[in-house]
């Protein structure tokens, strides 16, 4: 194993697997980590806090409002101290509270307060694990950008057999070592990503928009962070919770997105335009709701600014990557956009088909650049994002070498 020096905040919640957290703490310490432990009150029924204190060399924290901390805000001090937050074991109750943003104890409040990567190692009865509510909470947490270390199958404390045993401490420790010591190809680089759909109001009630969910853009933001980048995410309208670990800007219209991009573009190394920007906006937005009186109604539209082309055309432009969603002639339209807008790369995907595209969790991409292309097969958007970020990193480095 590779030694890693990190400040790890270990949260222990109330399950029989709490005893495994002692071994996990020992392994973290063996690898050179500085570990602080927080426990829920129910966790103390399984393992005495003194054991964690003896192994960590630090006092164990339980209380949300610590009278000995500055301003009695010990949870804020802990949140800012940590390089990584590990919840092991993570009970069904803890998963549910974190998924819905409840903050009624120290552990759930820390989840909302930390800005570092978060890892959950779930542990519970196999029926609880497979329950629809638990699975829905897992999916909700994944939209927050957290990391799961999946439970294992085997005999459980209740005597039943199934999936729900907390992963072994060695497995959890090795996962962190792998993640935290992995080569970070975008380390110290500034990456800006646009995501989601824009809206152009017709009146105070109605608007023009499209079907983009923002899932691909948010997945790319997470993948870029994992690769070590400093990420700015300019987001149009989505139903995805804003990510924790990046500079986040919320906008609605195309003009607002254009302004947000250019106000944050200084020192940007890589720009990835995944947002589905509405091409046209009404010349006039009605002040009042338009009533259904006439048989026909006509709107005059004007073209919105082309954010992608403007970024690529600016002085000292960043490495610029575009997206192209097509219903037909995918390759021709993608290559045309690549050349016309002077992009470094473009990722094209089909929409309106049985698989992939808007509002789906999976997609496939055809990537084009000057004198090159690559196909990324149908996969979850989170997996696809990691592949695309790796390819962008490779092409970015090649471009740097080419230009000295």
> First and final CA of the chain: distance in angstroms?
37
The one catalytic residue in 98, 116, 158, 173 is 158
Residue ranges with strand state E in 200-339: 200-201, 207-208, 230-235, 247-250, 270-273, 280-282, 301-303, 319-326
88 and 10 in contact (C-beta within 8 Å)? yes
Nearest to 35 by CA among 69, 12, 68: 12
Q: Would you state the structure tokens that stand for residue 144, as one six-digit string?
A: 């927050």
How many other CB atoms are there within 10 angstroms of residue 138's CB atom?
A: 17
DSSP code per residue over 288-305 = SPPPS-SS-----EEEPP
Place of tokens 């002639």: 329
158 among known catalytic residues = yes
Query: How are beta strands 301-303 and 280-282 bridged, if at all?
Result: antiparallel
- Catalytically active residues, by annotation: 158
């Amino acid at each position: 194993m590779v030694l890693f020096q990190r400040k790890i905040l270990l949260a222990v919640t109330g399950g029989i697997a709490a005893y495994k957290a002692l071994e996990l703490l020992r392994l973290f310490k063996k690898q050179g980590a500085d570990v602080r432990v927080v426990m829920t009150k129910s966790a103390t029924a399984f393992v005495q806090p003194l054991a964690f204190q003896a192994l960590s060399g630090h006092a164990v924290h339980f209380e949300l409002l610590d009278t000995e901390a500055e301003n009695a805000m010990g949870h804020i001090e802990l949140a800012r101290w940590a390089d990584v937050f590990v919840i092991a074991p993570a009970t069904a109750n803890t998963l549910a509270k974190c998924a819905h943003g409840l903050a009624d104890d120290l552990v759930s409040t820390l989840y909302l307060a930390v800005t570092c990567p978060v890892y959950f190692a779930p542990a519970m009865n196999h029926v609880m694990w497979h329950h629809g509510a638990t699975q829905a909470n897992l999916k909700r947490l994944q939209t927050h950008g957290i990391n799961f270390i999946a439970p294992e199958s085997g005999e459980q404390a209740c005597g039943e057999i199934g999936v729900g045993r907390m992963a072994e401490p060695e497995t959890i420790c090795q996962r962190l070592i792998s993640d935290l010591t992995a080569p970070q190809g975008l380390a110290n680089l500034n990456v800006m990503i646009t995501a989601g759909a824009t809206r152009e109001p017709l009146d105070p009630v109605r608007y023009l928009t499209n079907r983009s969910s923002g899932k691909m853009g948010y997945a790319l933001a997470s993948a870029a962070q994992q690769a070590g980048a400093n990420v700015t995410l300019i987001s149009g309208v989505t139903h995805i919770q804003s990510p924790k670990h990046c500079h986040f800007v919320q906008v609605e219209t195309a003009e607002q997105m254009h302004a947000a991009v250019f106000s944050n573009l200084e020192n940007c190394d890589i720009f990835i335009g995944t947002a589905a920007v509405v091409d046209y906006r009404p010349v006039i937005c009605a002040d009042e709701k338009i009533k259904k009186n006439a048989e026909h109604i006509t709107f005059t539209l004007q073209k919105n600014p082309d954010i992608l082309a403007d970024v690529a055309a600016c002085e000292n432009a960043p490495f610029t990557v575009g997206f192209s969603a097509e219903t037909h002639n995918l390759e021709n339209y993608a290559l045309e956009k690549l050349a016309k807008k002077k992009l470094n790369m473009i990722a094209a995907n089909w929409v309106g088909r049985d698989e992939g595209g808007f509002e789906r969790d999976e997609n496939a991409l055809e990537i084009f650049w000057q004198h090159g292309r690559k196909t990324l097969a149908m996969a979850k958007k989170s997996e696809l994002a990691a592949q695309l970020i790796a390819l962008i990193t490779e092409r970015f480095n090649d471009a740097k070498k080419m230009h000295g």
